[in-house]
Amino acid sequence: MSGYMMNFKRKEIKYLMNEDQYKGLRAYLDNIAEVDEYGKTRINNIYFDTPSFSMIRTSLEKPLYKEKLRLRTYGHTDSRTNSFIEIKKKYKGIVYKRRINGQYKMAYDYLVNDGEPLEESQISAEIEELRRLYKNPGPAMRISYDRIAMAGKEDKNLRITFDTNITWDDRSLDLASDENGHQILKKGEVLMELKVPGAVPEELSKKMSELGIFPTSFSKYGRGYTDMIRRKASKPVFEPQIATISEREVRAYA
């Protein structure tokens, strides 16, 4: 799994585009970037949070610093699939990702059933400290999506990803079980992320401006959470409600 980075720092800029914008941009990008060796991949995540969803609720407030804990796999998942326990932090617009890997069953048992850590390392200690801070957060939401990743032909620091078929699920919280999620994007929409150490290349920025593609605030877990709250709020009042969300939070991710 040497193609997967375990520790990095970068800017991640998100853009939401329609099908025509995507086709126009891909035609341009094919000249300067190429699809990586994995091609189109299904990415599966379990986000961990407190019973009151305090981690994502804090994130929706857009603080200078925020953090998330998740378990990730790529493609079909079973007990032996390679998986990643990740801490994703964001401070003043810079994303820091730290992660360790191991067999899915071992990673799941560690996070969910208080099993043994995957390894003894600095990153493992940071994960354990985060779990202590939030009093052992549990599996809160499953987020999955299809991804095409591209890397610059000349500029190796340029990485572009396109995500479609993004779904959330708060019931099937085991990546080895069947997926049955709710769609986050509208039909034809594509979420792009530019992952760069510094500024966006000037020519690429100009091309996106010509196509009417501009940066947007977008959190997959945040969108899934707000949709979940809306759905629960529409149910009969005698059913228990797991959390509340302010009107400002809803508007921010509508």
Query: How does pLDDT run across 37-74, given as a tens digit for each residue?
Result: 888 999 999 999 999 999 999 999 999 999 999 999 99
At 238, the pLDDT band (50, 70, 90 cuts) reads low
Which residues, in sequence order, are CB contacts of 182 under 8 Å at separation 6+? 167, 168, 169, 224, 227, 231
At 246, the pLDDT band (50, 70, 90 cuts) reads low
Which residues, in sequence order, are CB contacts of 120 under 8 Å at separation 6+? none
Strand partners, 167: 144, 183
Output 2 or 192, whichever has higher pLDDT. 192
> Among 8-17, 122-131, 140-149, 229-238, where is mean pLDDT lowest?
229-238
- Using CA atoms, how far residue 251 sits from 32, 90, 120, 213, 241, in Å, is 37, 22, 43, 21, 20
Distance of alpha carbon 189 from alpha carbon 170, whole angstroms: 23
Q: In the prediction, which pLDDT does 39 show?
A: 87
Q: In the prediction, which pLDDT does 245 show?
A: 53
What pLDDT digit, counting tens, does each position of 142-195 carry?
999 999 999 999 998 899 999 999 999 999 999 999 999 999 999 999 999 999
DSSP 215: B
| Stated pTM of the model | 0.89
All structural domains of the chain with their residue ranges = 7-252
By percentage, how much of the chain surpasses pLDDT 70? Answer: 90
Angle at which helices 202-210 and 19-29 cross, to 10°: 150
Pairing of strands 190-196, 138-152: unpaired
Q: In the prediction, which pLDDT does 237 show?
A: 58
CATH assignment, 7-252:
3.20.100.30
Mean pLDDT of the chain: 91
Q: What is the mean pLDDT of residues 128-151?
A: 97
Chain-centroid distance of CA 190 in Å reads: 14
By percentage, how much of the chain surpasses pLDDT 90? Answer: 83
